[in-house]
Structure 1
Amino acid sequence: MGILPRFDGEEAKKPNPGARQQVPVEVVVQRAVERLELPTPVIRTSPDEDFAQVVHVPTWMWVERSTWGPVSASAAVDGVKVTATARPQRAVWLIGEGGTVVCRGPGTPYSDANSPKAPSPDCGYTYRRASLSAPDRAFTVSVRVTWDVEWHGAGQVGVVPGLVMTGQRQLVVDEVQTVVRR
C-alpha cells in the first residue's frame, strides 16, 4: 500500500484498488424489502360475499386469515445481511356506495353464535342503498391493507412504513321489502 501526502502534515494511506467497499445497509434493506412476498388480501363477508348483501342489515367484513400475518425475507450483499419483517397494520375498505371503513385488524369472521342483526365487533358496514343502479348491478368493494416493515442487520434497525396490497370484488346489495296482507 502506498502513502499519499496530506496537507495537514499527516500521511494518508492510498486506497487499495483490490479492496471492496462495504455496501451501504440501505441497499441491502431495499433488496430484502423487494423479496417480501406480501399476499393479496382476500375479502370475506357475512352474508357470504357470493350472495346478496341486504340494505339495513349489518355486513361483517374481514380479510382471510391466511393473508394477514407477518412475512419475512432476508438479503445479503458482500457480507452485509438484513432481515425484513412486514406486519399488516390496518385495512381500509372502500365500500362501493361511497362509504369507507378503517379496521385496525383483519376483522372478525361471522359465526352462528352471533345474531344476524348484530354488527361486527370490529369491521363492518351497513349498506343504505341497493346496488341495482351500479355497473353490473354490484358495488366494487376493495380493501387496502397497509404493511409496515421492520428490519435489522449490520448492527442497525429501522422501519419502512406504508407498503400496500389491495384486493377487490363485486358485491350485490339488494333491498328486501315486506308485504303486509290484511
Structure 2
Amino acid sequence: MPHGEAISSGGGDRAPKGPPTITSSGWEYDLGGGMGILPRFDPVKKDGPKSGSGEQQVPVEVVVQQAVKRLKLPQPLIRTSPGEDFVQVVHVPTWMWVEHSTWGPVSASAAVEGVSVTATARPRKAVWSMGDGGQVVCRGPGTPYSDAYSPKASSPDCGYTYQRASLSVPGRAYTVSVQVTWDVEWRGGSKTGVVPGLVMAAQRRLVVDEVQTVVTR
C-alpha cells in the first residue's frame, strides 16, 4: 500500500536529446532529462518590440529559452529504508525519499542584446514507479528514516508497502524509478511567465522477499 498519493500506471514523460527545435507548439528543448515548451514566435515578424534606437529588439522568448537551457537541474538520488542494498520485506513499509540536496530552487540567467531574463526552477512533485505496477505521488522529497521512528512505522509522506515478492520476476528484483517534475518561473524584459513540467529521473533495483515464520515445538 502506498503512503503518499497513489496514481494509476501510465506512460512516462519524454526525455529527448539534442538541440532546441521549433515545433508547431513552440520552442521545444532538452534539459538532459526533461522537455518543455516555450510560446512560439516568428523571428522575422515585422511588428515585434523595438529598442529605443528603432532597431528590432530580440523577443523575450528567445532569451527565456537561453536562460532555461542554462538551468542545471540535479538528477534525483534515490534513498530507501530498508536501504537500497538490503532486501525489502513484503507487508513491511518501505520509506522512499530523494536526497534533499537535489531538491531545491535552481536559477540561471541569460542576456541577449540588452534583454535579460532570470529563470528559477523549483521541484513540484516526485512520481515513484515501484516496479510491481504500483505508483506513488509525493509532494515533496520524502522523509528520511531515522531511529526516532518505529521499525514498523510507515513514512508520513512518501512510502509504499509491497504485497508480493520480486523473486519471480526477471533479475529477481523490481526496477524502481522516480521522476521529479520541476516548474520554471522566469522574469525579464518587463514580462513574467512559467515553463511547467520539466522532468529529471533516476532508477535502481530493489529486491523484495517474504519473511517466513517457523513454528517449533
Q: Within 1, Cα distance between the matches of 2:70 and 2:152? A: 43
Gaps (5+ residues) in structure 2? 1-52
Which has more radius of gyration? 1
Q: How does 1:1-182 map to 2 (within 5 A)?
A: 20-182=55-217
Q: Distance in 1 between matches of 2:189 and 2:60?
A: 7
Question: Deviation of residue 47 (structure 1)?
Answer: 0.4
Amino acid at match of 1:93: W
User: Number of residue pairs matched?
Assistant: 165
Deviation of 1:133 (Å): 1.4
Q: How far off is 1:37 after superposition?
A: 0.6
Structure 2 counterpart SS, 1:161: strand
Match of 1:130, SS? coil
Runs of 4+ in structure 1 off by over 4 angstroms are none
- How far does the alpha carbon of each residue in 1:97-125 deviate from its partner, in whole angstroms, 9 at most, with x for none? 11000000000000101001000000000
Structure 1 residue runs without a partner (length 5+) = 1-17
TM-score calculated relative to the size of structure 2: 0.74
Q: For 1:22-66, what per-residue CA distance to the aligned partner results, in whole angstroms no more than 9, with x for missing partners?
A: 110011101101110101111000000111111000000000011
Rounded to whole Å, the distance in 1 between the matches of 2:163 and 2:178 is 19
1:107-164 Cα shifts (integer Å, max 9, x gaps)? 0000101001000000000000111012211100000000000000011111100000
TM-score after normalising by structure 1: 0.89
Shift of 1:19: 6.3
RMSD: 1.1
Partner Cα separation in structure 1 for residue 174 and residue 55 of structure 2: 57
Offset, 1:84: 0.2
Q: Aligned to 1:110, what secondary structure does the other structure show? A: coil
The percent identity for this pair of structures is: 79
**In structure 1, how many angstroms separate the alpha carbons of the residues matched to 2:81 and 2:119?**
35
Opposite residue 167 of structure 1, the aligned amino acid is A
